[in-house]
Structure 1
């Protein structure tokens, strides 16, 4: 089959190893063997005469490392290796540097649920068209490179809306697996969960305006959640649970109008949980649990001052302008009650006290005058 361009044999219970003869199919553009029972190592025979655009061998039992020969595919074609999906196998070794060779073409990199190690290569920051990056459930260590902010497809959206000719791809978003077909061009996702990443969440990530899913859970990340996280205006899923994050939850989260799934549980976050807007719809207390110093709704732990100034409707409704005004009136009433009592007390008590003092001072004078009057009366009577 020297002229074959598309070979899709997914979900066919295929077993055994992948034959090296597949490398002689020089015109092959799309190879999809996902969800079978294939085993052994990937062929090492890839060469510059091939024009492979889609490589999807996910959900098999493949072993070993990703062959470096995949980095030598022909660059004569406009689209070479747009999709690499090897997730759900038993692959190991370092995540390959050669992936950066496809900086201008690679759009989807799915290596989820393998045993890859090492760090995220800084060379990957040049993958400007990458809009789905899934490295979840591996053994990747080190920090999240700040230069990932160079991936412009996550800032402005994917501009290459061509037919990928692939049946589906699975992306974990909103806390569950979602399957995308022809709409995968419009999915922007970063999933680095369940690894051994350390350090802080790079501030540069907040430039990913087009990003829909950000999952950094189950790592060893520290520091604060970036204050400008609210810049991710199309974010639907944010999961930073099970890390070592500290500080407060940024108030800017409440401006994310598309946010449907949030999880910040099991960190070291402190202070009052932001309210208003979209966050009022995320009233599941489990998304905040495991942060002993967090307070405010939907947790049962009240923040200091909540007993006096909490004017939130008890029926779960929303506050309108009149509710705000009434709440402020009551607050100022209680603030003014104390000083008013003190002033009134001293007006009454002070009047009585002054009267007593005056009487005490005038009593001797009045008494002497009375004695003189009485002695004059006696003289006159004589």
Structure 2
């Protein structure tokens, strides 16, 4: 009986051990590292938010397929703010409460990020924000210790435009801009940089956020007949502005910053009308296979194709932001907190992300200053 009793006890012990192992495995499987994104997935900027999300998800898919990070899988939770400033902070707070992400990423818009910072959401929750779709000086200069930028500033992009065209003798500039914090920031930078390069801004005209109502701006700028128009605008408004400027017979050189997606402009209004539009870029081109980062992204995109989102500059920007978070998570160790991730990111000193170098070790949170300029050809493709 004693032997039999002991045998039963061993069976019970093995059963308990098996159950414990199963429960442990289930807990480990459930312990995903959550990344949170609040961005526009509807409205005029839906392609921007969706492309950023596609890039973030591509990094997550590729990383999880290779075993995750420190034994954990990554997961993205997203909410749609429709590019409406008043919704961004509210939805971000809701996402944090519901999903408990270790980081936020892929937020779109100067005013939207400003609202989030203004409510001290990052400071109060101890969650870093890595990668935003803005390069406004007000954001770059905020020096918020929880904010890690992954793109060059708008001032850097605008300087690239002014330098490029001033060097060819263009001195008469106009500025077309969105009538909000984003556009005003770009206008202020343009005024300083045009003056620095001995030029003159002879016309300034705006459109309202979340619209494509550009007719008044077209009339004012076309009448001034500038040599170069600097466009501080998003894709939908940029496309309508180019279309109406050309319909008005204006032949000014049109140049926009990276908030405009060139191929989308060509798709909206036709490549014949869009050709000649210059666009600054803050990440390497999708076909720059000599850049290790792009080679990596192309391989991942081939393995995890996205039928809804093309491999474009915005997708690359999302992927790079996620990859930077991944580097921080690896350094932070298992079961990282937001604070541990922040401290790990601050140690990234001239870190090679694949031919693109990130540096957060100084006082600035900018991290990356890559800027290139491209132009749409008659096939609607971007050329350097």
Smaller-chain TM-score range?
under 0.3
TM-score with structure 1 length normalisation?
Answer: 0.21
More helix by share: 2
Determine which structure has more spread, i.e. the larger CA radius of gyration: 1
More strand by share: 1
Bigger RCO (CA 8 Å, 6+ sep): 2
